[in-house]
Amino acid sequence: MNSPEGTADLALPRATAVAETRIAAPSYRLPVYIVCTVLALVTNYLLGKDVAWDMLNYHLYAGFSAVNDRFAQDYFAAGPQSYFNPYAYVPYYGMVSIGMSALAIGSVLAVAHSIILWLTFELAILVCPTEDPRSRLVFGICAVALAFVNPILMQQLGSSFADITTAELVLAGWLLLARAVRAPHAARVICAGLLLGAATALKLTNAVHAIAGVAVLIMLPVPLRGRMRHGFGYAIAVGLSFLVVAAPWSYRLERMFGNPFFPLLNGVFHSPEFTTEPLRHYRFIPENIAEALWRPFAMIDPVNMVHEELRAPDLRYAVLTALFILFFVRWLRRRFARPRSEPVQSNTESSAHVLAALGFGLAANWVIWLSSSGNSRYFLPMACVCAVVIVALLFRLFAAQPKIRNYILAAIFGIQAVQLWMGTEYRWNPTPWDGRWLTIAVPQRLATEPSLYLTIGIQSNSFVAPFLARGAGLVNFSGGYTLGPDGASGARVKQLISRYGPHVRVLLTGERLYERADLREPRRSQVDDALAPFGLRVDMSDCATITVHGLPPELEFRIVAADAISQPAPQQPRDTTYLVSCHVVPDNTDRSAQIARHRTVELVLDRLEDACPQLFQPRRPLTEYSGNVGVRRYGNTDLSAWVSNDGVKFRQPIRGDSVVYVGREADWVRAPLRLACERRNGHYFAKVMDSKEGS
């Protein structure tokens, strides 16, 4: 493969002339690793324990379900996330289950997470353009430091999230691909494929990194036939590794649902127990090219819901964009101004080629990731690659002006430090390192008597599963992904209710259930309305409270009738959350009078979806009822739409948006209305068009 003329900075090496060089002296590798680990430990300790929403919703339950067969007794216990591959969460669950202290668990996780910084150092010295050990050390330390100041990485250090641990597999795979670009070897390519396949099986969001790895392989300094052979071997390795790691869990999903990737890809496998509508979470995906091009700069702003739910300002992607532009301009100028025969040192040539491969792969990865999720929690391995590429470009662009390079690095670190200090949220629910990770006081009866718990809430509270009686089952049927009494899902729920009866209980967040006269939530009437489709109601004579210490009370968004007035909840300890559980009994109330009302609500919400299909996705979720209010939740767009008091409305609760009014219920019943709908900067809008606008 011949080098284009005048491209010394990114010159392609002659395949026959490249030899593997010694990357770094072992004498300073170990100290760097130790410093990285100590840095992770100190950061984790200072930030405190993180009892994240995802941990409460499914992280702990996932590890628990991986080592305990829950398919026979649970159903959507943690919502759709119940059926994601759980094996990455087994170590976390294991440490919680044996009673390790919270600080010990966080420290073990932080040590494991620090490996991502080790791999960043290895990747950095691979692309360093000099053989000088001291220069390599400085180069690597700069890259590690730039990778560390990633607010998303700092948020997850020592937490229950599996993003960093699976990102380490991805980054190790990309490190092997980079080594293969420097010195082609089939074993490196195959091992990289095995690592990336395993990472994808453990967390499917890593698939974008495995796909983008092909862009790195395109830069292999071998003939076209050799690149095709390496690419084929890479694809086989990715597929084989994915199958081996995913097979045990996929086999169980196939037997249960007829879909080995349930609930994903259900448009292909058509399990009757989940929607077959396309699933695509639009929360952080740009709606147009202009927004996509602006995203690196939008990420500088210290506001939430840009590339993650929390505030996580990140300067590095804007810096990388600017450096790419500057480098390209200089390349164009030198292409015509520099003599063609200018000599280039072999190490500089080979490291430049590795840098070009990483840059090409990073660009491809960015495009795929931004169009598929845009969530920076899923971009952690490439964020480390980004740090390496930034440092490499700075060292190359300003090789003759080291002072300018150092000033720029100092400015980058200084600005990012200010962002980290003033504009970043580091924990979802920061709590002290006291005691165990979770301290849960479960009443004796609930800890010894196996019951079926029907849970209500967007937060499934599945984290209590390991603390309930052995043999207890959970079904999250309301508040998240709604499960109704009809169809295959309804049959599953009814079968479990019949099997556990009369030991069936309801479970939801709150110290106790309140009557309507109390003007406080959670209300008994709302719970009874949720249970009514299954012919059940609450037995108020048999209620118990589970106390969770070390967890701040959680705010939930509830859709209630406009005339419902709630008083402030009574004061409770700021480090305590309560879960109330009440026995449920058969309900023989005649609800036939509500059938007509429900049909009207269904008609209105169906017409609303059809008027704005781009807003309300996936289509036709089940409707939940509370009194005369009917509400649907749309997972793709985070919207809730409801009908109440002769009004049709929707809202995006996660962004705190205002309620959008889209007409009277009576008008929607008479005929479908025309709506003008749009998504702008992550927010959704709609308005009713008059007859002139409609024409």
> Do 405 and 456 fall within a single domain?
no
Query: What's the pLDDT at 338?
Result: 55
Give the rounded distance of the alpha carbon of 633 from its chain centre: 19
> Do 581 and 606 fall within a single domain?
no
How many other β-carbons are positioned within 10 Å of the β-carbon of residue 23?
Answer: 16
**C-alpha neighbours within 13 Å on the C-beta side of residue 38:** 6
Measure the CA–CA gap between 661 and 66, rounded to whole angstroms. Answer: 44
Average pLDDT over every residue of 677-681: 89
How many other β-carbons are positioned within 10 Å of the β-carbon of residue 406?
Answer: 13
Contact 114, 37 (CB under 8 A): yes
> Do 163 and 140 fall within a single domain?
yes
> Do 346 and 369 fall within a single domain?
yes
Domain end point (choices 394, 422, 450) = 422
Q: Using the predicted structure, report yes or no on whether residue 15 has a pLDDT greater than 50.
A: no
CA distances from 409 to 40, 65, 118 (A): 22, 46, 21
pLDDT tens profile 467-487: 999 999 999 999 889 999 999
For 185-210, give the DSSP string.
Answer: -HHHHHHHHHHHHHHHHH-GGGHHHH
Confidence of residue 656 (pLDDT cuts 50, 70, 90): confident
In-domain check, residue 431 = no
Query: What's the pLDDT at 430?
Result: 86
In-domain check, residue 14 = no
In-domain check, residue 326 = yes
Q: Using the predicted structure, report yes or no on whether residue 146 has a pLDDT greater than 90.
A: yes
Q: Which two tokens stand for residue 203?
A: 């967390």
In-domain check, residue 445 = yes
> Do 362 and 464 fall within a single domain?
no
Average pLDDT over every residue of 411-433: 93
Choose the most confident range, by mean pLDDT, from 4-18, 141-155, 542-556: 141-155
Q: Which residues of 94-119 are buried (b: 16+ CB within 10 A; e: fewer)?
A: ebbeeebebbebbbbbbbbbbbbbbb
Q: What percent of the chain has pLDDT over 90?
A: 79
Domain end point (choices 586, 617, 638) = 586
Residues paired with residue 643 on neighbouring β-strands, in sequence order: 630, 648
> Do 490 and 455 fall within a single domain?
yes
Contact 505, 452 (CB under 8 A): yes
Chain position carrying tokens 């008609």: 603
Measure the CA–CA gap between 561 and 563, rounded to whole angstroms. Answer: 5
Residues paired with residue 78 on neighbouring β-strands, in sequence order: 80
What's the chain's average pLDDT?
89
| Residue 304: DSSP 8-state | S
Give the rounded distance of the alpha carbon of 466 from its chain centre: 24
Measure the CA–CA gap between 618 and 613, rounded to whole angstroms. Answer: 9
Question: Phi and psi dihedrals of 61, rounded to 5?
Answer: -65, -35
In-domain check, residue 539 = yes
Contact 663, 673 (CB under 8 A): yes
Measure the CA–CA gap between 115 and 109, rounded to whole angstroms. Answer: 10
3-state secondary structure of 72: coil
User: Comparing C-alpha atoms, which of 215, 143, 23 is closest to residue 392?
Assistant: 143
Three-class secondary structure assignment of 500-512: HCCCEEEEEECCC
**Domain encompassing residue 489:** 439-586
User: Comparing C-alpha atoms, which of 6, 11, 2 is closest to residue 352?
Assistant: 11
In-domain check, residue 160 = yes
CA distances from 479 to 90, 161, 455, 581 (A): 27, 23, 9, 16
> Do 387 and 473 fall within a single domain?
no
In-domain check, residue 270 = no
What global pTM score does this model have?
0.90
3-state secondary structure of 151: helix
Query: What's the pLDDT at 7?
Result: 35
CA distances from 483 to 296, 608, 622 (A): 40, 21, 7
Contact 625, 596 (CB under 8 A): no
Contact 260, 251 (CB under 8 A): yes
Contact 442, 578 (CB under 8 A): no
How many other β-carbons are positioned within 10 Å of the β-carbon of residue 49?
Answer: 26
Measure the CA–CA gap between 425 and 602, rounded to whole angstroms. Answer: 40
Query: What's the pLDDT at 264?
Result: 94
> Do 305 and 170 fall within a single domain?
yes
User: Comparing C-alpha atoms, which of 658, 663, 664, 612 is closest to residue 634?
Assistant: 612
> Do 574 and 600 fall within a single domain?
no
Number of domains in the chain: 3
3-state secondary structure of 687: strand
The helix-helix angle for 26-47 and 133-148 (nearest 10°) equals: 20
In-domain check, residue 275 = no
> Do 666 and 600 fall within a single domain?
yes
> Do 364 and 303 fall within a single domain?
yes
Measure the CA–CA gap between 554 and 85, rounded to whole angstroms. Answer: 27
Query: What's the pLDDT at 573?
Result: 63
Contact 578, 547 (CB under 8 A): yes
> Do 516 and 396 fall within a single domain?
no
**C-alpha neighbours within 13 Å on the C-beta side of residue 332:** 5
Domain end point (choices 422, 453, 488) = 422
Query: What's the pLDDT at 133?
Result: 87
656: phi > 0 → left, psi -120 to 50 → alpha, else beta; which? left
Query: What's the pLDDT at 4?
Result: 38
Confidence of residue 365 (pLDDT cuts 50, 70, 90): very high
pLDDT tens profile 433-444: 988 998 999 999
pLDDT tens profile 177-228: 999 999 999 999 999 999 999 999 999 999 999 999 999 999 999 999 999 9
